[in-house]
A and B are shown apart, each in its own frame.
Chain A
Amino acid sequence: MKTLSLYTLVLALVIIVSGCSTTTTEPTNTTPAYIKLGTATASGTTIELYADDSLLSGYNTMYVKVLDAYSKAIVRDAHIQLIPIMDMGMMKHSCPTEQPTQTVITGDYFRTAAVFQMSTTPNGTWKIKVEFHNHVSDKEDEVEIPVTVGESNCCKPIKCTDNNTYVVAIANHMEMITGVNNIEFTVHRKIDDMTYEPATNISMEMTPEMPSMGHGSPNNADPVHVANGHYKGKANFTMTGEWRITATLKLGDTSIGSTQLYLTIKK
């Protein structure tokens, strides 16, 4: 009888503990782990700007969350346009961008991208002007969110022999690891200081090398255009460390210019 009581007690404890653990389970947080770059409010609409990581010169994906300033409800029906502005005092310029392709979203964020061709310096700061039309409240306005852009060597403008300036960037440089990678470049043609368009009619050659070692790597594939100024190829990084990628732009068979981009493979 004493044994039976002990078993009953243990069983009861198990049930209680199990029950407790069930009731204390936290709901899964599905919010993406974005970094908040800044927030601003105008005309009853709050604009929050996010990115995957700290901004670096080159290609950066950013995410815009639109909220009703009073109820904090997420607005999923809006028209958004980002205009990055580099303010250097005497002059201002923008950079290539990719605007949201949808005005109605099912998630919480409007996806966008910018190709910062330079980093924040003591003489030049970046801010993101966000023009919006909140279709829920039917109000239009704009906000400016200052951002800091760190240094990287994954983006450079090239003044080419066809009298155009192209901005070349490795779009997915943060994803590069040892071995063969699907590498993605963006190439934009500069129309003027504030306007850029995707370059869709060029071809690219790409050569990865390790400057410290003096060797390259086998089994690379030159990038080819896929859409909207994006070029995809294969880059083989045979070890970690700093790699130099020489990107050559061609029109037909004619080379019109080349640049060298650098990235550090960490794993």
Chain B
Amino acid sequence: MIAECIISLLMTLPTPADSAVKKGKDSVRVYKSNQAVVVYGTGSNNGNSIDAVKQTLNSSDDVISMVQGVTMMRRANFAQEPSIRGLSAGEICVTIDGMKMHSACTDRMDPISAYVEIENMRRLEVNKGATDVTNGQSVGGTMNFVTQHADVSTPLFYRAEGGYESVSNLRRARAEANIATTNERFAVRATTSIKRSNDYWAGNATRINNSGYAKENYLLDAAWRINGSSQLGAMMIADAARNIGYPALIMDASKTMAYIGAMEFKTTGISEQISQMNCKLYWNTVEHTMDDYKRSVDEVRTRVIMPNMYMPMVGTSQTTGLLANATSVAESSLVKLTVDMYMLNANATMRMIPLDNKPEMFLHNLGDITLTNSALAGEYVYQPSAVLSFQTQARFDYTSRFINDASAKRTLESYLNTTIDTRTYFLYSVNAAATWQALEEVSVTAVAARSMRAPTHIENFGYYLYNPMDNSVYIGNPFIKPSVSYQAEVKADYVTEDIALSGAVFMYTIQDYIAGVTFVEADTTNLLFKQAFRRYDNIGSAQLLGAEFNGTVALTESIQARFAAKVQSGKSIRYNESLPFMPPAECDVRLSYKQEGWWAEVGCRFVAAQNSISSVILHEDATKGFAVADMRFGVAVLSHVTVKAGIENILDSLYHEHFSINNLPTRGRNFYASIAYTY
């Protein structure tokens, strides 16, 4: 299994599976077990623990973007959307503690990654491509946020932090506390995070109007250790964001409310055959409201789509699920079975309110969709010798989805001129990996994977969805086939006392790639509606090729150099053009210095121009290359007080990433500072 993650310990419960954890001296080539998560190389943060990353960075987005192969799609100064090797949305699977959660916004303003603040992130698991299907089948990969839970072995811990960022006048405050009873039976953990941001400034002192936001996030987690081998936990996250300006889009998010709840039972040592078993029931809901009421009347009147009207949209999603797994560990093998079931209800509506007192209009973007998914996944790890290990996984999903709302069903049926019944898909994925420790310092891993991804409920049943990237209106297609991905990847690691180098090459072939296909051309003579209509469809095969390299070199005991470089391309065979949002080649170089009580880091990211662009699938434009440097440091000023500060985009460069929607510029020079008290 190829995985990317920011490492920390997985479990709080000691289990007999300890003996199965095979951890080399490099701590890199380790198989995933129920005790530790394994990673084959990380990005420029290679080797850093999550605590070290938290110490260095300011937000979850910062953490995610540090993972090699992960890029962030920017629509605002808020909650960027992750993509893995250029694949995003329905092509990847993003989960929180394995729990499925779905955006309520059909314009992808509310990525799931927005709901896990950095203080609640215990670990980030990123699997690229189809190399791990435990948390879901996808062609692009999975990203799982493992949250920090209440710890019965920590009697008292609390931490408070206040911070400021100049680029958007961001004020933030965080607090977290863990309290446990002395008998280590009960524990409660609570966190809160409050952020207030004004408009941000891009490079060259360019103010990006309408880009402020306000956000709060609360977490309450409780753990009850029933006995030495069993534990019951409950977790609740509430996230509220308001007045979020989206300068890259035609509307703003006036309110987003998310609630995530889960109860989990964990036990170990049930029998000789079953070493560990987890069972989790969860529920989450998102309500997302966006509108254009704060846009000027002039902007609304001259807007490129649907001018002369306000168009508030409300989206909701509720997901309820069961996630259970059982693990059996033997001397040289591990078997894990996972049952993953969930049900999604999604609804999205749009009112269109003309400015000139004409009758109001209304439609369902998503007409009360119900989606159910039942899956069984299995994993087998076999380590016949100290230098050889094998791993294979398989997953089977059965999913059905249908439209509940009669009006929405009727309008989509009328548009497509067909009858829409319940749509079902059966999906299966398999993968296999082998690792050979060729030398003490050198290991080689080869992976082959086959995976499927069902169309999303939006791709099946979405209606009148505006995409600013191609200025088109998208209509769902209930008859899309699942995409099938075949992936091959080879990776080599070289690890010594002072050096860790890693390199990987990968190739994907994705059959029945899903994208928009124009069926009504844009009418440029129509002053009110110049948009083309596009329908989600399978557009044949696509290929991804790429290579990733990263390494860490300890120059002295205190100084460490790190680098991460990648290059990749993606191509649609039918259209003979690049897939959209393909990451350009880039290299990240950092130098860090660490002494007792303080640390400092300086880094620079070099990104090449991206001229391989999509013109048919999506109307992309080329992106210029850029280089951006940052500098950070931290110091413990008192026994419990630490200060960190830094400068991002030191040269105040005005640039935008290739994944920036409507070429929204990235943040300019940012001075940040924070002070934290930890006990």
Inter-chain contact B363/A239, CB cutoff 8 Å: yes
> Counting CB contacts under 8 A, is A264 at the interface?
yes
Residues of B within 8 A of A210 (CB): 361
Residues of A within 8 A of B358 (CB): 211-212, 241-242
Q: Return the chain B residue nearest A214 by Cβ.
A: B528
Residues of A within 8 A of B407 (CB): 177-179, 267
> Counting CB contacts under 8 A, is B226 at the interface?
no
Inter-chain contact A239/B361, CB cutoff 8 Å: yes
Residues of A within 8 A of B306 (CB): 213
Determine, out of B53-61, B369-377, B409-417, the stretch whose residues face the partner at the interface. B409-417
Inter-chain contact A218/B362, CB cutoff 8 Å: no
Chain A 175-206, CB within 8 Å of chain B: the 1/0 string? 00111100000000000000000000000000
Bound complex: CA A240 to CA B526 (Å):
21
Inter-chain contact A241/B361, CB cutoff 8 Å: yes
Chain A 87-130, CB within 8 Å of chain B: the 1/0 string? 00000000000000000000000000000000000000000000
> Counting CB contacts under 8 A, is B157 at the interface?
no
Bound complex: CA A16 to CA B520 (Å):
69
A178 touching B410 in the complex, CB below 8 Å, given contacts A212-B352, A213-B352: yes
A15 shortest CB reach to chain B, Å: 43
Q: List 16 A-B contacts (CB under 8 A).
A: A179-B413, A180-B413, A180-B414, A212-B352, A213-B361, A213-B528, A215-B528, A218-B415, A239-B361, A239-B362, A239-B411, A240-B363, A241-B359, A241-B362, A242-B358, A264-B359
> Counting CB contacts under 8 A, is A236 at the interface?
yes
> Counting CB contacts under 8 A, is B52 at the interface?
no
Residues of A within 8 A of B527 (CB): 214
Bound complex: CA A211 to CA B529 (Å):
10
B431 shortest CB reach to chain A, Å: 43
Bound complex: CA A194 to CA B527 (Å):
44
> Counting CB contacts under 8 A, is A172 at the interface?
no
Bound complex: CA A189 to CA B407 (Å):
37
Inter-chain contact B362/A240, CB cutoff 8 Å: yes
Inter-chain contact B352/A215, CB cutoff 8 Å: no
Q: Give chain A interface residues in 55-90, CB to chain B under 8 Å.
A: none
B675 shortest CB reach to chain A, Å: 53
Interface residues of B: mostly helix, strand, loop or mixed?
mixed
B309, B527, B528: which has the most chain A beta carbons within 10 Å? B528
Interface residues of A: mostly helix, strand, loop or mixed?
loop
> Counting CB contacts under 8 A, is A30 at the interface?
no
Q: Return the chain B residue nearest A240 by Cβ.
A: B362
> Counting CB contacts under 8 A, is B498 at the interface?
no
Residues of A within 8 A of B526 (CB): 214-215
> Counting CB contacts under 8 A, is A238 at the interface?
yes
Which listed residue, B308, B411, B529, touches A178 by the CB 8 Å rule? B411
List A residues at the B interface (Cβ < 8 Å): 177-180, 210-215, 217-219, 236-242, 264, 267
B361, B417, B529: which has the most chain A beta carbons within 10 Å? B361
A211, A217, A236: which has the most chain B beta carbons within 10 Å? A236
Bound complex: CA A177 to CA B409 (Å):
12
List B residues at the A interface (Cβ < 8 Å): 306, 308-309, 352, 354, 358-363, 407, 410-411, 413-415, 417, 464, 520, 526-529
Inter-chain contact B361/A215, CB cutoff 8 Å: no
Residues of B within 8 A of A264 (CB): 359
Residues of B within 8 A of A211 (CB): 358
Inter-chain contact B362/A212, CB cutoff 8 Å: no
Residues of B within 8 A of A218 (CB): 415, 417, 520
Q: Return the chain B residue nearest A236 by Cβ.
A: B414
Q: Return the chain A residue nearest B408 by Cβ.
A: A178
Inter-chain contact B410/A179, CB cutoff 8 Å: yes
Bound complex: CA A210 to CA B362 (Å):
12
B589 shortest CB reach to chain A, Å: 51
Bound complex: CA A139 to CA B410 (Å):
52
Residues of A within 8 A of B354 (CB): 212
Inter-chain contact A238/B529, CB cutoff 8 Å: no
Inter-chain contact B414/A212, CB cutoff 8 Å: no
A244 shortest CB reach to chain B, Å: 11
A213 shortest CB reach to chain B, Å: 6
A239 touching B464 in the complex, CB below 8 Å, given contacts A179-B410, A212-B361: yes
Bound complex: CA A156 to CA B648 (Å):
67
Residues of A within 8 A of B360 (CB): 240-241
Given A214-B528, A241-B362: 5 more A-B contacts, CB < 8 Å: A177-B407, A179-B411, A218-B520, A240-B360, A242-B359
Bound complex: CA A240 to CA B364 (Å):
10
Inter-chain contact B415/A214, CB cutoff 8 Å: no
A215, A217, A236, A242: which has the most chain B beta carbons within 10 Å? A215
Residues of A within 8 A of B361 (CB): 210, 212-213, 239-242
Residues of B within 8 A of A177 (CB): 407, 410
Bound complex: CA A151 to CA B528 (Å):
28
A151 shortest CB reach to chain B, Å: 14
A222 shortest CB reach to chain B, Å: 16
Q: Return the chain A residue nearest B350 by Cβ.
A: A239
A53 shortest CB reach to chain B, Å: 19
Inter-chain contact B414/A215, CB cutoff 8 Å: no
B480 shortest CB reach to chain A, Å: 19
Bound complex: CA A180 to CA B527 (Å):
26
Inter-chain contact A241/B352, CB cutoff 8 Å: yes
Bound complex: CA A85 to CA B249 (Å):
57
Q: Return the chain B residue nearest A234 by Cβ.
A: B414
